[in-house]
Amino acid sequence: MTQQADGVGDNLSRIAAAKSVGEAVKTAGDHLQKSRIDTARLDARVLAAGAFDMSPEDMLLHADRLAPADDLSRFAEYCDRRMQGEPVARILGEKEFWSLTFKLNEATLVPRPDTELCVETGLQILAGKGLTAPHILDLGTGSGCILISLLTELPGASGVGVDIALAAIEMAQVNALKLGVAGRTKFLQGSWDAAGKGLGKFDLIVTNPPYIPALDIRLLAVEVKDHDPQRALAGGDDGLVAYREIANIVARSMRTGAVLVAEVGNGQAQDVVEIFECAGLVRALDWCRLDLAGRGRVVVAEKC
Ligand SMILES: C[S@@+](CC[C@H](N)C(=O)[O-])C[C@H]1O[C@@H](n2cnc3c(N)ncnc32)[C@H](O)[C@@H]1O
């Protein structure tokens, strides 16, 4: 038996001995904590909700419910995967973003809470311009989380999502359908320059491109470096390669008045706005939006 199979067996037997849903969650939380998972109790609850097909609220209300054996063994397997460093969202194949649930596959980044700032910023800009039916482009759309979230807030809006990964495009299409905006979206496989290929005139371009510098990738948490797609992370030697390409394309092919909203990595805001300016874009008045930790997370530039 392999080491991993041993682990599954151990965890399975301990969790499978649980008499109730509540006891299974408590036992799993203890095991995850021993494995030094920072969010052990929360992860146990979320994984249990998936394995037992119960809402987190129901699990609290019905903690004494007897758990079926199949569900218990699924829960044990989930916990074992979590102990090996797999993120909860990968195990469950979905992640909440902007209070919506997005399905994930191997080609999609797990959407991050920080990226909600792109949605918030985009909505503020469109409201400021009085645009209620804007046409939006999302470069590097992944699961489609930014574009789809914007469209759910703007019933008159339409948009195009572009990604180099075909499997990501397929997942984004599934999410758009599930979240009721498929009729207003188009998803295309292609590189950044797809933006300049006659897709129409965009009022807003959003992007969360790969921005991790090559040498920093090995320093990332196991959850990220071993489970998020490399194509979603790798930003070239200095982490800024995608911004240069996107800036040139946007500057060349976007209509006057179009606004570019880009997520940036830690410490990259100044460099990115300068890249945008070099390409001929103009930084917006309020060009650097801060995340909850007070770091520059989103950069805004315009084509004038
Ligand atoms: C950081 S992820 C962002 C995904 C999603 N927008 C989000 O915020 O969760 C970057 C995305 O860019 C895509 N990508 C990487 N290089 C690309 C390129 N040259 N052209 C288009 N998309 C690219 C990746 O496949 C990945 O889905």
Nearest CA-CA partner of 270 in 303, 240, 304? 240
* Residue to mutate (ligand 1; options 96, 119, 138, 163; most atoms within 8 A of CB): 163
> Are 66 and 110 in a shared domain?
no
pLDDT of 266 strictly over 70: yes
Residues 41 and 124 in one domain: no
234 and 270 within one domain: yes
Contact 63, 56 (CB under 8 A): no
Query: Band of the pLDDT at 2, cuts 50, 70, 90?
Result: very low
Determine the distance separating the centroid of ligand 1 and the alpha carbon of 233, expressed in angstroms: 8
Asked whether 207 lines ligand 1 (CB < 6 A), one says: no
Q: Check whether 8 has a pLDDT greater than 70.
A: no
For residue 16, give Cα distances in angstroms to 52, 81, 92, 298: 13, 16, 20, 46
With a CB cutoff of 8 Å and minimum separation 6, the contacts of 56 are 45, 46, 49
Note the pLDDT tens digit of each residue in 63-111: 999 989 999 999 999 999 999 999 999 999 999 999 999 999 999 999 9
Which residue lies with its CA nearest to atom 27 of ligand 1? 142
Distance CA 122, CA 116 (A): 10
0.75 cut: is pTM over it?
Answer: yes
Q: Do both 206 and 269 map to the same domain?
A: yes
Q: Over 60: is that where the pLDDT of 3 sits? A: no
Note whether 9 and 126 are same-domain residues.
Answer: no
Q: Is the pLDDT of residue 57 over 90?
A: no
239 touches 265 (CB < 8 A) = yes
Query: Which of 164, 207, 268 to probe ligand 1 with, by most ligand atoms within 8 A of CB?
Result: 164
Mean pLDDT of 41-62: 92
Residue whose CA lies nearest to ligand 1 atom number 5: 142
Ligand 1: centre distance to CA 142 (Å): 6
Q: Is the CB of 141 under 6 A from ligand 1?
A: yes
- Crossing angle for the helix pair 40-52 and 69-83, nearest 10 degrees? 140
Claim to verify: residue 105 and residue 231 sit in the same structural domain:
yes
pLDDT single digits (tens) 99-132 = 999 999 999 999 999 999 999 999 999 999 999 9
Q: State residue 1's pLDDT score.
A: 32
pLDDT at 4 over 60: no
* Residue range of the domain that includes 214: 96-302
Whether 91 is in a domain gets the answer: no
* Residue 5 predicted with pLDDT over 70: no
Average pLDDT over residues 217-245: 97
Supply the CATH number for residue 203's domain: 3.40.50.150
Taking only the tens place, the pLDDT of each residue in 36-49 is 999 999 999 999 99
Query: 89 lies in a domain?
Result: no
Please tell me the distance from the alpha carbon of residue 171 to that of residue 175, in angstroms, as a whole number: 6
Residues in contact with 29: Cβ distance below 8 Å, sequence separation at least 6, in sequence order: 40, 41, 43, 44, 45
Question: At which of 33, 51, 84 does a domain end?
Answer: 84
CB 104 within 8 A of CB 94: yes
> Ligand 1 centroid vs 291 CA: distance in angstroms?
20
Per-residue pLDDT, 134: 96
Q: Which helix (H) or strand (E) holds 137?
A: strand 135-139
Average pLDDT value for the chain = 93
Residue 90 forms part of a structural domain? no
| CB of 239 shorter than 6 A to ligand 1 | no
Q: Residue 12 — pLDDT band, cuts 50, 70, 90?
A: low
Q: Residues 113, 226: one domain?
A: yes
Domain count within the chain? 2
51, pLDDT greater than 50: yes
Residue that finishes a domain, picked among 54, 84, 114: 84
Q: Check residue 200 and give its pLDDT.
A: 72
**pLDDT, tens digit, 9 for 90 and up, residues 146-183:** 999 999 999 999 999 999 999 999 999 999 999 999 99
- The mean per-residue pLDDT over the stretch 270-276 comes to 98
Last residue in a domain, options 25, 50, 84: 84
The verdict on the CB of residue 122 being under 6 Å from ligand 1 is no
